[in-house]
Structure formats: C-alpha cells, structure tokens
Amino acid sequence: MFSYVNRKNITYYLHMRRTAAGKTVYVMTRSSTDALETVPPGMEIVEKFTVERMGYSGMGGWRFVALVSLQEALRAYLPRLGRPSFFEM
C-alpha cells in the first residue's frame, strides 16, 4: 500500500475518489482502508511547502504568501531575505 510519512511522523495513504461530476481525483488521507497499492501510471507525487512571513500591521501574526515546491520557494524567496523587497510579499 502506498504511504507517505511527513516531517511530523504522520502517515498518509493514497486513495482514488470520484467527484459528483464523475472526475477521478487522488487524495492522501490518514486512513489505510481501501488505499491504493501503488501510484497510478503517469502520476507524480509532489511535496508543496507553505511560504509565510510575519505581519506587523493590523492583527499581526503569520501571513500566507504562497504554496509552492521547495525549488520554487528557494528561487523566488531566498534572494529577498534581508532586503526590503521581502516585506512587499
């Protein structure tokens, strides 16, 4: 059965679902019941990362910037660290 263990040591299992419109979608859930044995042909597993920054105006707190692959995050946001353009995100 195909499973994925994230950085918090939580295991997720791959499932195939059909939407109301009849479209096939694949989702990762914590349930191992009816999980797929392998990744379907032509499908790629891609891990996405949340890019956030601390906001200091209004209510403050962490603000969502993007949901991207690690390579995209490094390319787009690493050059901004320590520069004023970081606060324009």
Residues 9-45: pLDDT tens digits?
Answer: 889 888 888 889 998 888 888 888 888 888 788 877 7
Give pLDDT, residue 3. 84
Instruction: Give start and end residues of each alpha helix (H) in 8-89.
Output: 70-77
Please tell me the pTM assigned to this model.
Answer: 0.46
Enumerate the domain spans of the chain. Answer: 1-39, 49-88
Contact residues for 75 (Cβ-Cβ < 8 A; gap 6+):
none
Q: Specify the residue for token string 């044995």.
A: 37
Distance of CA 29 to CAs 44, 47, 52, 67, 74, Å?
A: 17, 15, 24, 19, 28
